[in-house]
Amino acid sequence: MRSCFSIFVFLVFVATGFAQTDDERFCPPLKIKPVVSGSFGEIRTNHFHSGLDLATNGKQGYRVYSSEDGFVARIKVSPVGYGKALYIQHPDGYTTVYGHLQRFAPEIDSLVRKRQYEKQSYAIELFLKKGEIPVKKGEVIAFSGNSGSSGGPHLHYEIRKTNAQVPIDPLLFRNDVKDDIKPRIQGLKIYPLDINSRIEGRYSSKYLPAVYYDNVFHPKGQRIINASGKIGLGIQVLDYFSGSWRKCGVRSVELYVDSSRIFEADYSSIPFSETRYVNSLIDYGEKKRTGKVIQKSFVEPNNKLTVYKDLKNKGIINLKPGERKIVKYVVKDAAGNESDLSFILQGIAYPNDEPAAGPDNDEVVIAWDKPFTFSSDGISLNIPAASLYNDAPFYFEVDNDSTGFLSPVYVIGRDEVPVHKSFELSIRIPDSISVPADKIFIAGVTAKGRPFYLGGKTVNDEVKARLRGFGKFTLYADTIAPVVKLYRAPSANNYRGLKTIDVKIFDAMSGVKNYNCYIDGRWVLFEYDAKNNKLTGYKQYFPVKSGMHTMKIEAKDNCGNTVEKEYKITL
């Protein structure tokens, strides 16, 4: 058994319902120097990061070890997501997850390959019982890789509470990652939260970059900020680990007003069911416009995150004329390194200021807590209640100058408004369209006017799709089959001296839905790397003998277009 290290944790987590003591011991999943390239709770697109990303020196093939005794409870193989992933259940109530693997240990790999051949599918998910594949602490269970949606070789490592399948920051269980660098506060944003509130006399939010001096951060050039009414704050932060240039997230953000804590967000544990609420935590519109990730320190009506602690008045500051409030942010990382930002909010009356314009009488507003329906010539829209995080104006426009598309381009809502639940959009197929109905889909349209596949199903004369974001939409068609061709094929397709057969597979519009590969009419396993548009077949696992063979590759896209290629190959 490999040597392991002890982890000492003295925390009780009320939110996840477990307590830890100093006798818990876990092995590190890798035996190389740990370099964190992605931290737990880090803010990603539409979700929080649910584990640690451990860099592997830009290489694949490092041994991956089980952190504790247990058994293989689940195995999942997918061309996207975690790619090849392993779930080990432990007797102490935790499950560890190992993602983006190159391959599994031999016993596990053999079982997976057997089931893949039985189901004739590379993508597969297996649930195992306790006695099927037991593992010991420190046992090699897999090898690190770059499978699935990984952006480079690394190990995605999670610890979950088994019963609830709630992920927990692995750094609460391990002390081998060096971190003596304080979080970096990049900026501050101040928001007027109703039409009677002002920031420096204006009904608009204000962003201030942060500067560091006297051992704390400050808003650049402005220690005192004049405001009035209901005020919300937001902070832009990031963190680094020692010896790493990778930008990571922080563990907690606290907000104090006159020494009283009114807000805390603690990212020690975040249920999967809450992860999309990240779009309410951040200033979604700011991220869309500028790329800045600002964490709001006030809570919108439909934000159900349980990361918030000591929340007073939902983090909203009521500032009256003449009041002077000392505001302080305290930001901590997983190692306890702390950074502070302080400033003063000064309440100012603006007697000559014109009131901010409220909604126009004819402006349509989507109430976050009510369903919303809309129909116009050619389209209909059904948004369920609680699809937005706050009330938002509804915007609609039709662009009839839509050359190259099958319908007008419909601008529905503002893409700076995040959507939590899926909604249904229906677009009528114009009578003049002669394209087969099963080739037509709803497409999104980029700022540069390029369509991209969103899907949908034709019902009578309409295409219906479930979407999860506002933007520009139209009808488009895909009548072109996927591209399939041998990749770096040897002379005369003689693969005798090679270990693999590589195939490029690509669909420019609706995407590859499925594929099958056969040798002499017999299904053979080819692994699919979707991000690189590549199929790889490992010759040693082909159930055929050496010699001349006929290989056939079939592929279908999401609009039903198919391609079939046949090659004479030598193995």
Residues 19 and 161 occupy one common structural domain: yes
User: Is 115 part of a structural domain of the chain?
Assistant: yes
Residues 287, 294: Cα–Cα separation, whole Å: 8
Q: What span, in angstroms and rounded, lies between the C-alpha atoms of 153 and 145?
A: 5
Structural domains of the chain, count: 4
- Which two three-digit tokens encode residue 331? 């930001």
- If asked whether residues 488 and 472 sit together in one domain, one would say no
Q: Are strands 338-347 and 224-238 parallel, antiparallel or unpaired?
A: parallel
Q: Are 323 and 399 in the same domain? A: no
Domain boundary among 347, 380, 400: 347
- Judge if 342 and 369 occupy the same domain: no
Residue 158 pairs in a beta bridge with 97
* Judgement on whether residues 145 and 191 belong to the same structural domain of the protein: no
188 and 162 part of one domain: no
In a domain, 433, yes or no: yes
Q: Please give the C-alpha separations between residue 129 and each of 78, 84, 126, 134, 512, in angstroms, as whole numbers.
A: 21, 19, 10, 9, 33
The answer to whether residues 320 and 190 belong to one domain is yes
Q: Are residues 487 and 438 in the same domain?
A: no
Q: Would 354 be classed as within a structural domain? A: no
> Do 253 and 296 touch, CB atoms closer than 8 A?
no
Give a yes or no: residue 46 inside a domain: yes
Shared domain check, 430 and 335: no
Residue pair 157/97 in contact (Cβ under 8 Å)? The answer is yes
**Per-residue pLDDT, 355:** 54
Supply the CATH number for residue 18's domain.
Answer: 2.70.70.10
Last residue in a domain, options 347, 377, 405: 347
pTM over 0.85: yes
Q: Are residues 104 and 242 in the same domain?
A: no
- For residue 216, tell me if it sits in a domain: yes
CB crowding 26-54: b at 16 or more within 10 Å, else e:
bbbbbeeebbbbbbbbbbeeebbbbbbbb
CATH (domain of 456): 2.60.220.30
Same domain for 137 and 189?
A: no
Handedness of CA 386, 388, 394, 399 (dihedral sign): negative
CA–CA distance, 227 with 320 (Å, rounded to integer): 9
Domain of 523, CATH number, reads 2.60.40.10
- Within 13 Å of residue 299, how many CA atoms lie on the same side as its CB? 21
Question: What residues in the chain have per-residue pLDDT under 50?
Answer: 1-23
- Alpha-helix runs per DSSP H in 387-435: none
Find tokens 């477990």 and name the residue: 18
Cα–Cα dist 380/315, whole Å: 37
Q: Is residue 360 part of a domain?
A: no
- Domain containing residue 535: 483-570
Residue where a domain terminates, one of 286, 320, 347: 347
Q: Name the helix (H) or strand (E) containing 76.
A: strand 70-77
Does 355 fall in a domain? no
Q: What single-letter amino acid sits at 376? A: S
Residue 524 domain-assigned (yes or no): yes
DSSP for 512-558, please give it. Answer: EEEEEEEETTEEE--EEEGGGTEEEEEGGG-SS-SSEEEEEEEEEET
d(CA 419, CA 387): 6
Same-domain check for residues 192 and 327: yes
